[in-house]
Structure 1
């Protein structure tokens, strides 16, 4: 077991295509974990091991690897960059102590970098910045540094400067030590020399060195006073100050290089050791009660404390279910019994493994600070706390965004139903932002996710991994019907056919109810014209008819029925007769009460950069949206609006086009509102046509 101060739990995150996975590959190569580097564009990288990842050249699920550098143990998580998989980034950040934000030297600070940066700020994760791809056309290190300040409202502390740019990029200057690292043309990371700073860069390096020292000594009052008196601080003192400032997120040490060409990677690894916090230096996770409120206690990172761990990812692979766990305190050994504080059930730890992407090494024990996987846990889900049964506790839970898009699916062949059910069950356990439900109205299976690519990949995984071919339908909107006018009416049900007949007469009022009340029934009959024992039958008769409205067969909402009089026959009246009378009354009176189609309205929250606010608001108005609020933030504007669900299909694609890929949105159901006449007519016509085909 390594000493806790020698642990570094770090994540690598950035916009799609900034070079995260390539950076991870280089780290593994440098630390001796792999001997041949796999390239993303060849579909051979270590951490992108899913078929879909290799094919599309993108990372879909975060992968964990462990390696060693200068006696320090790194647990590295390579996260996806695509906006549809942000939940992977979010839950990885939740269990990490530090991160490397990778930015493309030519692309700069891109939209997904902003989202991930925001998540990292919320999770209070210390970061260093790596400006990658400086060998590419159009690369500009200083422009990216400026963007970090303006777009992310962050403070980059430049630690290395590039020597040459684009195809002339040959190495970096360490601003702290004023030494130049120059690589040769072999492309091997170990083939570099340490030289003097090139003559044409001396002034620039001096300028940045002075800036670095001034920023660093602000972290220590005594050093600052000495520096102002003309005393130059030692490298050790400066490193200590930079470490403190990085941990407090006062600034972010910023490095440059080219992961693909193996230039500048050693400096990054040294920076992880020098500046990113160990598990003991991070604010401990707060403990919460069952409702999720903080109790004031924290999970102190220490081997001597009781076991506290968080399950942050479930993965199903060829060996069975894997539960990824970050251990905050205590020790965990093979054969231990642990308590899941969410379910209240205990489970025995059978096998524990250290992950190398999809390879695994068996472990007999693990301790505070470790990120490991447990094989074969039965009832554990993402966000559950695992702890010592004698010391139950709950760590702060994870909150996942609501899905924004849904599609209806059905297996192509009859036998696929059961197979699909089992497969989707496993996929829902793995990915908390992927949901499934059965539409009560249509009986269809509805898959919900974070975006079109997200659901595309899920359908692809079902087909390839689980062998389930699906028919994917158009999403359907759950319309409803209601009434707009009050009606007073009477209905008599009589039937005479030898022996006792049926008789029931009701006088009633039907009127629109308050929004959200559904169906309410009351009786004000006095004098016993309708005996009390028949009231439930009348209520039941009306209620059963509310399932299907008269316009297009959608359920009816917000209707009040009041029974005020009626008549009965001593022999022929029965509960069934009054129930039939109520059904007849519904059919007779609802068409007279101004029936109307109502549609679901969604509460939409759009995040957009400042320069696209006008386009976004104009587009929401075209979608029949009502703008409710606008909030300006450091990096953009949040627009809140109420928009009909039927107008929101495919919105994410339009939003990304309008905002050059930088916009994001979330939506949830708010309430029902009447449809405009043109929409109503179209829906009724389409529904009747669909029903006629059935």
Structure 2
């Protein structure tokens, strides 16, 4: 009996798909999501971004601005499969929302504009998905637009993302005349002549030769990548549709190839085949590797694996928290086991128990209550009093701590204050709730001015946060001018910095003697910081990405090692020196900014038989590194971004000149559909208020997007 039940549950898990929609802003992610919900019957009417009637963009700010700001989870069913879908933001300022979503997803649909192809944020979210090992399929959207071209978009996928695109469809008609696609696997046409479902038929005669040529190219491409396809291709000079489907599934899951489909979500064309591809090619919870975590909930615990088995001990990760008027709503992915309404679970990282009040199957801002959730489910729970984003909920009898989503360092800060002194306490509560919901926001007090500083990922990120305070908490808030987050790094190091810490004030004294070498961290890249992912280039960015290896005890942007011989400094004191050095990184000598991109080597030291202690060596490490940094040639770093500006051709010259005046370096320009697309690298500090300036120069016709690329020396 139990075996039959277990088999049924396992089969049901095979029918689950946890996926996200990833793309650059305005590529059509939310429209794709809305059409998926409509086609699957989850909604009775398809929402529209322009009308503010979408399901997933339910926040008032999202509807006012016409962009996705907060990742929203929805569920639907297709062809006997349950699909949990997360619509993610496309704007660079909200990339941490994407990061948290990718942490719990098994697959993704990457949406590309058929005119623009791969855009800056498309590339960024693609790299984020690479880091998490999330399999993807691609959907080239907006084929009905003027200038749309599938082949050009596919070429940009190949060149910019460095993947092998496997195109499985051929458009029928161009631009306004786009009406359907040819399915190259089954050699059939799918035409959406009007509203409603598509009509299936033979390949149009005018496209037959082209379809056969593209089918042949697809067969040759997969034969180069997969031994099963190569074997059949060599034996039969062709590959059957079932074999192609199986091979495409394998290549998608390994990341060796990316299946590419096309359509127009706005005109309801191409969504059904896209859903079929989700079911056919993207993995279920049973297809992904077991989740790994620390077994006993401590840093020194053994690494354990938990498979997607509803009868295994519970392991679930909280990836998002919403503080609503009716209580805290925690979104979680159940990796193993079963979570039930009313049961007590352990927040393993915090070491406290929590009670599950209610379990909700989420439909953006609407939900349906259920009694339980099993491995593979993405649900929301009510009743958690203290669990935060990144918390692991598990069985009290089987503790496990899963790796939490990473949080990027903020790059922009503003001073916020309540205009009425009586509202200061309410503002503090509002800021605490904001940080609880969005860990990429940081609140701190400026030690010099006493102001409260709110830091985030960009100007828009902070605008949205402040507006939420005003709307949600009905507070009148004053906001200061944005300031960027500078960093300091070592341009030229020093050797043999000696520091003796001696303190004797009665009783046990303190004695520590250390000698340090300080040098730039290897792999910290060139000083220009103009390439690479977020935080991935420039002296600070590359150092933060490279970090240093585990043998050196390195962390992001800092590496430490000991070259002491003969036991002159015991191991426990070496760890204390490292901790002291990390303490010293909080403030650099140039302006009190955080220090990054350096390697510290402990070369010598001495101890006292009675007065030496870990505290003494930690103090010595901190003060020694501060002394060393004052002797180093230090470099001030500022965040830089890649700006992509789209303007009318007659305004291109003026826009380029303006970017140069903002200390920008123009790296390229290209004509596209009557406009010019200009790419430049610009210091973030120079872009505050740029949107207004650009609209003025282009009579409101210019647009721009940004992508963080790291840090570079301040000009």
What TM-score, normalized by structure 2, do the two folds share? Answer: 0.70
Q: CA shift at 1:231, angstroms?
A: 5.5
Of 69, 78, 81, the match for 1:69: 78
Q: CA shift at 1:659, angstroms?
A: 12
The reply to whether residue 348 of structure 1 matches residue 355 of structure 2 is yes
Q: CA shift at 1:314, angstroms?
A: 0.6
Aligned runs of 1:549-628 on 2, under 5 Å?
602-604=636-638, 606=640, 608=642
The reply to whether residue 325 of structure 1 matches residue 325 of structure 2 is no
Equivalent position SS for 1:286: strand
Equivalent-residue separation in structure 2 for 1:478 and 1:300 (angstroms): 42
Contact 2:644 2:680 in 1 (8 A): no
**Which 10-residue stretch deviates more, 289-298 or 205-214?**
289-298
The reply to whether residue 135 of structure 1 matches residue 141 of structure 2 is no
The reply to whether residue 450 of structure 1 matches residue 457 of structure 2 is yes
Equivalent-residue separation in structure 2 for 1:358 and 1:55 (angstroms): 17
Contact 2:644 2:705 in 1 (8 A): no
Q: CA shift at 1:473, angstroms?
A: 1.5
CA pair 266-408 structure 1, distance change in 2 beyond 3 A: same
CA pair 601-323 structure 1, distance change in 2 beyond 3 A: farther
Equivalent-residue separation in structure 2 for 1:293 and 1:423 (angstroms): 37
CA pair 400-601 structure 1, distance change in 2 beyond 3 A: farther
**Residue correspondences, number:** 544
Of 215, 221, 224, the match for 1:215: 221
Q: CA shift at 1:107, angstroms?
A: 1.7
* Cα deviations by residue, 1:507-552 (Å, 9 ceiling, x for unpaired): xxxxxxx99x9x999999xxxxxx999xxxxxxxxxxxxxxxxxxx
Tell me the equivalent position of 2:269. Answer: 263
The reply to whether residue 43 of structure 1 matches residue 52 of structure 2 is yes
CA pair 310-652 structure 1, distance change in 2 beyond 3 A: farther
Of 371, 374, 391, the match for 1:367: 374
Q: CA shift at 1:223, angstroms?
A: 4.6
CA pair 251-462 structure 1, distance change in 2 beyond 3 A: same
Tell me the equivalent position of 1:649. Answer: 685
Tell me the equivalent position of 1:312. Answer: 319
The reply to whether residue 86 of structure 1 matches residue 86 of structure 2 is no
Q: CA shift at 1:606, angstroms?
A: 4.6
Q: CA shift at 1:385, angstroms?
A: 1.1
What TM-score, normalized by structure 1, do the two folds share? Answer: 0.72
Aligned runs of 1:509-524 on 2, under 5 Å?
none
Q: CA shift at 1:232, angstroms?
A: 3.9
CA pair 142-223 structure 1, distance change in 2 beyond 3 A: closer
Equivalent position SS for 1:267: helix
* Cα deviations by residue, 1:429-463 (Å, 9 ceiling, x for unpaired): 11011111112222211100000000001111111
Equivalent-residue separation in structure 1 for 2:74 and 2:278 (angstroms): 15
Equivalent-residue separation in structure 1 for 2:485 and 2:123 (angstroms): 35
Equivalent-residue separation in structure 2 for 1:384 and 1:72 (angstroms): 29
Q: CA shift at 1:399, angstroms?
A: 1.4
Tell me the equivalent position of 1:144. Answer: 153
Q: CA shift at 1:664, angstroms?
A: 1.2
Equivalent position SS for 1:173: strand
Q: CA shift at 1:425, angstroms?
A: 1.0
* Cα deviations by residue, 1:187-234 (Å, 9 ceiling, x for unpaired): 33x1x2112112221122111211222333456535522320226443
Q: CA shift at 1:149, angstroms?
A: 0.4
Equivalent position SS for 2:211: helix
Equivalent position SS for 2:50: helix
Contact 1:652 1:664 in 2 (8 A): no
Runs of 5+ unmatched residues, structure 1: 480-513, 525-530, 534-553, 556-595, 626-636, 642-646, 677-694
* Cα deviations by residue, 1:138-159 (Å, 9 ceiling, x for unpaired): 1111100000001111111101
Tell me the equivalent position of 1:250. Answer: 256
Of 390, 394, 397, the match for 1:390: 397
Runs of 5+ unmatched residues, structure 2: 1-8, 487-493, 508-590, 593-629, 646-654, 666-678, 695-701
